[in-house]
Structure formats: C-alpha cells, structure tokens
Amino acid sequence: MKRNPQEALLSARGISRRAAVLGGLQLGVAGLLTARLAKLQLDGGQEFRLLAEENRINVRLIAPARGLIVDRNGVEIAGNEQIYRVSVIPDDAGDVEAVIAQLRGLIRLDEDRLAKARREMARSPSFVAVTLAERLTWEELSAVALNAPALPGITPEVGLSRVYPRHDDFAHVVGYVGRVSDRDLERDTTDDPLLRVPQFQIGKTGTEQAMEASLRGRAGSKRIEVNAAGRIMRELDREPGISGRDVVMSIDAGLQNFTQARLGSESASAVVIDCRNGDVMAAVSAPSFDPNLFVQGISQPDYDVLRENDHRPLHNKIVQGLYPPGSTFKMVTLLAALAAGEITPNETVWCGGSTRVSGRRFHCWKRGGHGHVALNESLRESCDVYYYELAQRTGIERMAAMARKLGLGIRHDLEMTSVSEGLIPDRAWKRKRRSEEWVVGDSLNASIGQGFVLASPLQLAVMTARLSSGLNVSPRLVRSIDGAAQPSGVQGTLDIPRSHLDLVRRAMYDVVNSPRGTAGRSKFDLSGVKWSGKTGTSQVRNITAAERARGVFRNEDLPWDRRDHALFVGYAPHDDPRYAVSVVVEHGGGGSKAAAPVARDIMLYALHGGVPPLEAYPSGQRGEAEERLGALRLAPVAPAGGGRTRA
Amino acid sequence: MSYLEYNVARTPSGLRKVLAMNWALTITVAAVAALGLLVLYSVAGGSMRPWAEAQMQRFALGLAAMFAVAMIPIWFWRNVSALFYALGLILLVLVEVIGSSGGGAQRWIDLGFMRLQPSELMKVTLVMMLAAYYDWLPPSKVSRPQWVLVPVLLILLPVALVVQQPDLGTSLLLLMGGGAVMFIAGVHWAYFATVVAAGVGLVTAVLKSKGTDWQILQDYQYRRIDTFLNPENDPLGAGYHITQSKIALGSGGLTGRGFMQGTQARLNFLPEKHTDFIFTTLAEDFGFAGSLSLLALYVLIVAFCVWTALKTKDRFASIVSLGVGVTFFLFFAVNMAMVMGLAPVVGVPLPLVSYGGSALLVLMVAFGLVQSAHVHRPRLPGEGQLLRR
C-alpha cells in the first residue's frame, strides 16, 4: 500500500502539532518538579538539615507485652517471659565468622541456630541485625556484655517471649505463637508496623490466632542516639506502648489437666460444656504436644516425631476430628420420630436381629435380636432395628432437621483453628456431592449414626447439653476480654416439647443406672447426684469375609487402626443438668468399655471440683478406681497472683 | 510501507550507520548512567559492591543492545511489533502462572544471568505495537470510535495482567504511556478530556464515599491515602518513607553535603535507597545543583527523542521515538514526584540510575529504536552530505 504524499504530509504535520502540545506539558511538569526541588532544598534546606542532624536520634519500635490468657479461675495459660538473646549486625562486625568464633568462647552456641542465622545473613542486607543465640542465661548475657569491646557488631538484647506454663494441656485450644511469616504479612490488612519488627510473635493457631487483634496491643517506641557509623550510643527515652488485652477462657485448668491425664496416650478427645451458659469447661485432644516447642522454633527431628505418630498429636480432634457418632445419634432419630408423631412411647417394634429393606439386610448389633422393643428399651439397650423402623417412618429430611436443631452439622463459632462443620446428610447434599439419589438404606445407616453422618466431639457435647437442658446452648470459649464479659451461650429454649425430652432423658438415665443398660457398669452416686448418658460404637470398617475365615470375629483381634471408635455422651446431675460431656476414643473398641468409664471420671471431677472421692463409685469398683486415679500425674493448679510476668 | 515512497538507498549502510546515530542522545544517556553509578557507589558506603559493579556490567550490556537495535532498519522493527507484543503478553501470563504455582507474587522469569520482568518489557513493546497500529491505520480514521477502541484494548490487556501481579507503578506507567501515544497519533482531544473528567469524578467519589454506607475502598486503603496526604501523622508506619525521604532531599541544600557525606542514606534512614528512593541520596550528596543537573539531562534525553521524531517524517518511526520519549519522561517524573511527596508511593524506579537490570535493559533497547529511526530516516536530497559515497 502506497500512502499518498498528501496524507503523509498531513500525518507529519499532525504529529508535530501533538508533539508540541505534549512537549509543552512535559516542560510544565518538569518546571513543577524544579519548583518543588527548589522549595525543599533551597527554602527548606536549613530546616531539613537540622532534621537530618536530629536523625542521629533513631526511633525504634518496641513490641508491647502480649495479653495474658488465663482460665476461668485466673490460672495462667499463656504468659510472657523475659528472654535474653544476642544478635549481630554483619556491617558492624566486619568478619562475622571471626566474631562468632570469639563468641563461642563465651557462651554455648547452637549449631542449628547458627546455620539458620547464616542463611538469614546471606538473604538480608548486611545492616539488618540477625539473632545468633536465644534464651541465654543471665550469666551468659553478662559475659557477652562484659566482652562487648572485643565483639564488634554484637548486641545483647532483652525481649519478651510467649510461654505456656500448662504445657501440653492447651496445645489444641489456645494454640501457640510464632514468628511473622511472609504469608502472614500477605494476609495482613492492618498495616501494623509491629509485624515488621524482627522476632515479633503473632498467634499461629487456636485462640492465640483467633484473638490476635485483642492480644497484640499497640507498638511503643524508643528513641536512641546513634553515632555517625550508625552504632547505638545510648537510649534517650521510651514510650512503652499499650499491652495486649487479657483474655479469660471459660476452661477450668484443673479439669482440663485431669481430662488430659485421664485420656493419656489414647488417641482420643473429650469436651465438657456447662449446660446453663455454654461455657466450655474442658476441651482436650490427646495425645497432645508442648506448644513451647513451637514458640522456640521446633527442631526437625522433634517435629518429625510429632508428625509421624499414628495417634496424630498435632491434629485437633476436638473440633476437627470427625467421627460417625454411632448410637449416640439415636437420641436425634428418636426426637425426630416423636416430633413427627411417627412413634408413641409404648408402641413396640419386633427385633429379630436384623431387618430386610429393599433387598438388603440390616443387622442389629445383637445377633439374636432384642424381641419386642419399646422406646425406653430401644435406647437403653441400643437396639438398632427399632431405629431402622423409625428411619423408614420419619425420613432423612426430618431427622436432619432435628440433628441441626441439636447442634450437629452446623459450625459453632469458637476461638479455635479450623472448626469443622461435620456432616448431616440429606437428599440435596447427596445429589450435589455424590451425584446420586438418596436411598432408604442411607436413612437406615444415618438413624444409628453410621453412613454419611459425621460429628466432632464438640458437636456431640453441644447436642448433649441441648437435649439435657432443653436450652438452645452454644459453646463459649472466651468468658471475658479485659474484664468485658462475653455474651452467654444460651439463646432461649429449644422448640422441642418437654414431654419428648423427658422420655429421652428417662431412657438415658436407664442406660447408665439400669442393670440392663449398655453403660450399667459406669454409674456413680456422688452424695445423691447421678448421671445419664448414651454409649456409641462406630464402625471404622466391616470385618471382611476373609478375616472371618482366618478366625477374626471380635474387634480386639483387628489391628489398632481398624478397630471401632468408642463414644460416650452424658450429663449430670440427671434431674437438673449442669454439665454435658462427650468422649471419643479412636479405635477404642466398644463405647461402654472404652469411653463411658473415662467420661465418668471426667464428669465426677467436674461435679466434685477435684479428684473424685472413691465413695462415688459402685462399691465393687473402688479398688480399681483408686489405682487408676492414683496413677494419674496431675499438675498443681494455682491461680496466678503476683506471678504475672508483664515485664 | 510508507518508506517505499522514499529513496531508501539514501540511508547509510554498514559501519557508516554508527556515525549516523543520534550521538547527542547516546552521550546524554551515558552521562546519566555515569551519574547513577556514582550514586550507587556512594549508597554502598564508598564501594563498588554490591551494586555499582553489577550495574556497570548491565549498562555495558544495555549499550551493546542499543547499538545492535540501532543497526537494524526501523521498518524491520515495525514489521515485528505485533509479534513482540504477543510475546510480551505470553510472558506476562507465564509469569502469572509460575508466580501463582510458586505460592507467592513473582514478577520475573529467571534467565540464568538475570531476572527478566515481562512487565518492564511491555513498556517498550506496547509503544511499538501502538505505533505500528497507527502506522497501518489511515490518519483520517484515527478518531472514529471503533478505531479508538482497538488501541484502548491493546493497552488495557497488559495493564490488567500487570495489576494482577500486583504492580501498581508499572501498570500506571503503561496506562499513561499508552494514552500519550494515542494522543501523539492524533486521537481527538475530546476523548482525553472525557477520560480526565471521569478520573477526577472517580477520585472525588472515592474520597467522598469514605465513612458512608457506599464506601468504595477498604478502610486500610483509605489509611494509605491519608498517609500520602499527611505523612507526618504516621511517622513510624507507612509515612516513615516519605518523611525520611523529604528530610534527605531537603538537607542537601544548594550544593549538597558532599559526595558520600549524606547521613540519611549512610545511617539507613532511607528505605530502598539503591532502587526506588535513590534520588534522595543523589539530592542529599549533591544538593539542588546536582538534582537539577539530573533533571536537565533527563529533559535533554526527551528532547533528543523528539528531535529524531521530527526529523524522520515516517509515521511509525516518529510515533515510536515520541512514545519512547514520553515513556522515559513518565518514568522519571513519577519517581521524582513520589520521592518528593507529590505523588503516592508506587514502585517506579529512577530510569538509568536505580539499581535493577530489566528496567535498564529495556530502556536501552527503547533508545536503540530511536537510534534506528534516526539512522534509517529518509534523507532529502542534499542532506547527509558527509555520508555520500
């Protein structure tokens, strides 16, 4: 294409014109910049030079003391301790390795820490201080300070670090703090300059993370004088900033400690809730770990031990552990059927050991069957066939609605990490998630808490608190923040008729207190106070035909990780519920044997406010109880008085 | 295309091309780069390491690149503009993919000897693409809405990708640079008036909406705006940079505190003292005299680009030359305005002076294009006597 000369000329002329306009604009901007330069440098020159001189005085941020976390009685769960550390500024040190060698003569240096420090030095600019050693003793620090002239670039520092005096007890609930990571900075929207202070710690998990905004506080500052080389000459003054706010948890440290000890090395979880206000009195996931390890930066071997343990100590089973609730779900099915008017208390169902629905056989746990079963016996003896019948009459939608009313399948808003929603299946869920239609067999499985149904120990405790008290209880983990009480967890009453709840509670009483109840061996009588509950055993998998052929019939013959989960939920006192408890022992076998005795000890401790008296146990079990309780290693619990480290 | 009307044989060939280059431009660019090395030497506390030495090598590489680009006829560059633009886009997408799979914001691709930032590359390829477009489009159609929409999309596509990274500074430069090229090409001024009016309206709306129910930005974003307007209110937080930077500038006075005597930079009061905030060190060491000299050299560089543009008479060549000039201008104007507290802090380096490879190389290639336009400009009879055989 040949452009005609006329057009080319026009184009050139147009461009020249536009270039002139643009050039003018650019010159204007350049003039503006010149004017600004003149204003700053010529007019303001003297004043700014003065400011620059003053800038010998450097302002540094001081991290505020993090808010304390205490239990309901003031026992310290998370506090602050003074730590001493030594850091080096490579610019000032010159030959860093020589200085490190000097330092090695004075204090012990951890090789791992040194390797980390060397990596950090390689990465960051050479004027940034890098920590060489942490948690020095006072003597070590003095040695460094004394020899300061021979150690160029080395500064001894005092700082605060988080400490968890209750060690393993609160690792999953309260969590721990750690250094600010790049990811933390990316997610941060507060622009808090504190996050950029080296060594600053923020909540990484649990309540420490959830309550970060309250616990952190506001930065203080100090003014220090530096000489021409940037070395600190002296500190002029400091403004301490605002400490973080103190958080009072609803948990009772004594009960928490007892529960942790009682669960021992089992892979298990237990929750105790106060039915009257939703306070979480204890929430334990076992086995646990020491959060102090994470604050100091856990070593790889230690971490590997925790990670490779098949009892998963790092996993928070309280709110993240999801289990088929097994027979503890039967109260839900029962209340749903009662609400729907599909069953009356005296109507009986025939249990012959199994029932046949749409071509599939569904078994009762008792092979021989229970015979004629009415409402009370059905729960007391945990007859599955009775609930298969209820499931067919009631249907999954009404059962699911009742489950949600009782706090299953919904997320409870707690100050913990990754609180799970659990799973209450219904038709819509199965269509969406599995692209399959709901079949009646699914309802049957759900009615005895198997199949798709999943609940966390926390949810089971909430369910128990709700159906025992008739109140709409939600769990509450934080009681108050800096003295400001948090709202109670109870919001009105459940819309379930009192008569229905009474039927269920009567049956739960019989589960524990009737000789024929599934938990008949786990009753107690603490000066007239008795309790009610329900056992549950949830299958991890069926025993296969091949295993039967090899002679494996009982759960105990299976390897540990294939055995059934043992569950128990209960409340006391039976006639005026105060506490609700749930216990899940992973692969523990049967609920009545593995979970109910644990729940009983925990409940007795909660009621008694200390290690339960032997008189509360049935006379034949006292020797055994004495031995069991005596073997527990409990930590002393004393409210923090003057021992508060605020520094 | 448009070159066919001229007698191409009049343009020099072989090594004569070197003599025909825009030497005024070459010399000013080298002068600015030398000044930059001096400042990098000062910032490092009187040491070639870690910055000055590496920067010197990169400048040498950039100079070679400029010469290489200059030797290749400008019409070749026009013909490959669209290809380069597409390549630039692909690299931008690629860096997005690599970056997101790597778990963090990554803006560069590792070439082994240097890290290439595709967003920097886009600054020159966008100018080339737009120039080629306007070279192809008959000037009479330039202001028709459908033909205005095309370049707008050509600009917004890379801008959207760069904003994603997120790199606000570069995307703003791309936006303004692209707009300037459209202006140069002769798009009716009413379009620009509308955009400016809409921009003013939007800014007003954003500021007015603060605290109301229909608040447009997040609270923390308003805090950043506040910090820009009143840095003194937050001297330890985000306002710190600006306050310290103004102190450094101001304390330079008329003649500066002397080479390597600035305390602000030496005592690490300045952030990013070797990259985005390097101007403060220069201003502190050399004062108003030094800063103004740098500004003058910059203006000269732009002027030499304009000179080439006006001499060449070819549409692509002159739009590219002007476009490179404007892009360069935006670079230093935005950086200086930011350092002096006239504009919010967005990451834009000081061209030819700040430490950094991608930006330097891309600029040198861009100047190579201007040189090529200069070397291969059509000559009228009697022009360039010296070069006749």
Judgement on whether residues A346 and A216 belong to the same structural domain of the protein: no
Domain boundary among A191, A221, A247: A247
Is there a single domain that holds both residue A437 and residue A563?
yes
CB contact under 8 A, A37 and B288: yes
Shared domain check, A272 and A200: no
Range of the domain at A273: 253-290+314-630
Instruction: Give the nearest partner residue to B236 out of A10, A52, A193, using CB atoms.
Output: A193
Cα–Cα distance measured from residue B255 to residue A291, given in angstroms and rounded to the nearest whole number: 59
pLDDT tens for A210-266 read 999 899 988 887 777 665 445 566 677 777 788 899 999 999 999 999 999 999 989
Same-domain status, A465 and A483? yes
Position A381 in a domain: yes
- Return residues 7-66 of B near A (CB < 8 Å): none
Higher pLDDT, B248 or A173: A173
Q: Predicted confidence band at A186 (pLDDT cuts at 50, 70, 90)?
A: confident
One-letter identity of residue B47: S
Any chain A CB within 8 A of the CB of B238?
yes
For position A337, which CATH number holds? 3.40.710.10
A197 and A259 share one domain = no
* Chain B CB within 8 Å of residue A42 CB: yes
Q: Does some domain include residue B234? A: yes
Q: Are residues A520 and A449 in the same domain?
A: yes
Q: Residue A57 contacts by C-beta under 8 Å, 6 or more apart in sequence?
A: A223, A224, A225, A226, A236
Per-residue model confidence (pLDDT) at position B102? 43
Beta bridge partner(s), residue A62:
A220
Q: What is the pLDDT of residue A249?
A: 95
Contact A287, A268 (CB under 8 A): no
pLDDT band for A86, please (50, 70, 90 cuts).
Answer: confident
Examine residue A45 and state whether it is found in any structural domain, yes or no: no
Give the minimum alpha-carbon distance from B24 to chain A in angstroms, rounded to a whole number.
18
The two tokens of residue A233 are 């000459």
By percentage, how much of chain A surpasses pLDDT 70? 90
The one catalytic residue among A161, A285, A327, A532? A327
Total count of residues recorded for chain B: 389
Q: Rounded mean pLDDT of A284-297?
A: 90
Q: How confident is the model at residue B263 (pLDDT cuts 50, 70, 90)?
A: low
Q: How confident is the model at residue A647 (pLDDT cuts 50, 70, 90)?
A: very low
What value does the mean pLDDT of chain A take? 87
Active site residue A592: no
Q: Which of 228-267 (A) contact B at CB < 8 A?
A: 228, 230
Residue predicted with more confidence, B232 or B249: B249
The structural domain count of chain A equals: 2
Cα separation, A134 vs A265, in Å, equals 32
B309 interface with A at CB cutoff 8 Å? yes
Q: A237 and A262, same structural domain?
A: no
Q: If you average pLDDT over residues A156-160, what whole number do you get?
A: 81
How far is it, in rounded angstroms, from Cα A553 to Cα A102? Answer: 68
- Considering the domain architecture, whether residues A214 and A325 belong to the same structural domain is answered as no
Reported as a pLDDT band with limits 50, 70 and 90, residue B1 is very low
Give residue A55's pLDDT band: very low, low, confident or very high (50, 70, 90): low
Name the residue in chain B with its Cα closest to that of A219. Answer: B236
Q: Which DSSP helix (H) or strand (E) runs through A5?
A: helix A5-37
Nearest-5° angle of CA A126, CA B224, CA B214? 155
Residue A125: per-residue pLDDT: 58
Per-residue confidence (pLDDT) for residue B3, from 0 to 100: 47
Q: Are residues A220 and A184 in the same domain?
A: yes
Residue A331 lies in a domain: yes
With a pLDDT cut of 90, the percent of chain B lying above it is: 42
Same domain, A284 and A208: no
A558: confidence class by pLDDT, cuts 50, 70, 90: confident
Question: What is the C-alpha radius of gyration for chain B, rounded to an integer number of angstroms?
Answer: 22
- Which pLDDT does position A377 carry in this prediction? 93
The CATH number that applies at residue A170 is 3.90.1310.10
- Residue A639: inside a domain: no
The pLDDT, as a whole number, for residue B357 is 80
The residues, any chain, with a CB within 8 Å of residue A549's CB and separated by 6 or more, are: none
Residue A298 lies in a domain: no
Q: Kindly provide the b/e burial profile for residues A549-578, where b requires at least 16 CB atoms within 10 angstroms of the residue's own CB.
A: eeebeebeebeeebbbbbbbbbbbbbeebb
Asked if A295 contacts A283 with a C-beta cutoff of 8 angstroms, the reply is no
Confidence check: pLDDT of B103 > 50: no
Tokens 């200390």 — which residue?
A: A610
For residue B91, tell me if it sits in a domain.
Answer: no
Q: Residue B382 above 60 pLDDT?
A: no
Closest CA to A328 of A455, A425, A473, A441: A455
- Is residue A286 within 8 Å of A457, Cβ to Cβ? no
State whether A227 and A282 are in the same domain: no
Please tell me the total count of domains within chain B.
1
Give the pLDDT confidence score for residue A541 in this predicted structure. 65
Q: At what angle do helices A330-340 and A440-447 cross, to 10 degrees?
A: 120
Q: Please report the pLDDT score of residue B2 as a whole number.
A: 46
Comparing alpha-carbon positions, the chain B residue that sits nearest to A229 is: B267
Check whether B104 has a pLDDT greater than 60.
no
Residue A184 tokens, joined = 């933390």
Q: Do the domain assignments include residue B96? A: no
In a mutational test of the B interface, the residue from A2, A3, A7, A11 whose CB has the highest number of chain B CBs within 10 Å is A11
Whole-angstrom distance, CA of residue A33 vs CA of residue A25:
12
In this predicted structure, the answer to whether residue B236 has a pLDDT above a threshold of 60 is: no
Q: Is the pLDDT of residue A128 over 70?
A: no
For residue A646, give both structure tokens. Answer: 């605020």
* Model pLDDT, residue A223: 73
Q: Which residue has the higher pLDDT, B156 or B267?
A: B156
Query: Structural domain of residue B67, as residue ranges?
Result: 2-79+187-381
Q: Within a domain: residue B194?
A: yes
Q: Are A265 and A152 contained in the same domain?
A: no
- C-alpha–C-alpha distance, residues B367 and A329, integer Å: 77
Please tell me whether the interface predicted TM-score (ipTM) of this complex is above 0.90.
Answer: no
Q: With an 8 Å Cβ cutoff, is A190 touching chain B?
A: yes
Q: DSSP labels for B199-242?
A: HHHHHHHHHHTTTSTT--S-HHHHHHHHHHH-GGGSTTTTHHHH
- Flag if B313 and A44 touch (Cβ within 8 Å): no
